[in-house]
Homo-oligomer: A and B are copies of this chain.
Amino acid sequence: MTEKLAFLGLGLMGGFMAGNLAKKGFTVNAWNRTPNRPGITVAQEAGAKVLPSIETAVIDADIIFTCVGDVPDINDVIFGKNGIINYAKEGSLIVDFSTIGTDAARDISSQLETKNIRFLDAPISGGDIGAKQGTLTIMVGGEKKDFDQCLPYFNAMGKTIIYCGSVGNGQAVKMCNQALCAVHMVALCEALMMAEKQNIDPNLMIEVCRTGAAGSWALTNLGPKIVASDLQPGFAVKHLLKDLRLVQEIMANANSELPGVTLAEDFLKIVSNLDQGEGKEQGTQAMIRYYNQQNNP
């Protein structure tokens, strides 16, 4: 049996992901809230059929993928006036790639259960490059049989596909992932400051340190971008700040603090306010602007 797929949310990531599904020969009906976005063209050119409404995209879908922004967005797409819930087939499966936190994922799942719609939370990591190349890491929470049903589709979009347990657990692992990314950026910026203050070629420093016990994905991939003053977003400051807010909520509920994450969040907030608030649209490597400001006032 050929399952029919819907894909809602053709942003920087979603466009490539829907496209990769289509390229593998799957039938993909896609939709995006805002028209004329680059991701729509990417999905379309790869063979996805872009439709004008959620209704037309999901009406006969067996599996509905969603890749939107924050909690209000996914709630609107699923439960809003023209949301999925009004049109989806009974027994269908919604798979959400957004990063929305464990509580929101579990809340959505129980609401959908009453409508006999299944739900997986499946946040992703790997940035636009990973989405384009189909090498994303996908962290999945929910029923194991639903995960198994989606494996062929996950494999079309990602390289590391990991079942994390019950619903919300994908989000929980993603929170750890974001905490690591944020603090690794602090490490990278401080190593670059040290290189600068010691008159060491920063690319030499990166070349040396990346191969040993100081290595990280950030150092290898974002270090050279900072050196080249390339602050284009692979992942934007505003998105990491949104995720760090979720991280802080989780830890506050557990009466715990993460001083390293808090430091990273403080610096990113400062950067996000630069350029009349346009700093938030830059990539997370723009954290270096905080350090430059502090050290070369």
Contact = CB atoms under 8 A, between A and B. Distances in A.
Interface of A: 102, 125-127, 130, 136-137, 139, 159-160, 162, 164-165, 169, 172-173, 175-184, 186-191, 193-195, 197-201, 204-205, 207-209, 211-219, 221, 235, 247, 250-251, 254-261, 263, 294-295
Contact of A177 (B164, B197, B214): B214
Contact of A258 (B139, B193, B247): B193
A260 B126 CA distance: 24
A184 B187 contact: yes
Contact of A197 (B169, B254, B259): B254
A175 B214 CA distance: 11
A207 B257 CA distance: 24
B211 A160 contact: yes
A214 B130 CA distance: 13
9 contacts: A127-B213, A160-B212, A172-B198, A173-B200, A183-B187, A190-B259, A197-B250, A255-B295, A256-B294
Contacts of A164: 200, 204, 208
Contacts of A180: 187-188, 190-191, 209, 214, 216, 219
Consensus secondary structure, chain A interface: helix
Contacts of A295: 254-256
A162 B165 CA distance: 45
Contacts of A165: 200-201, 204
Contacts of A139: 208
Nearest to A253: B197
Contacts of A204: 162, 164-165, 173
Contacts of A251: 193-194, 197
Contact of A217 (B182, B194, B213): B213
Nearest to A266: B259
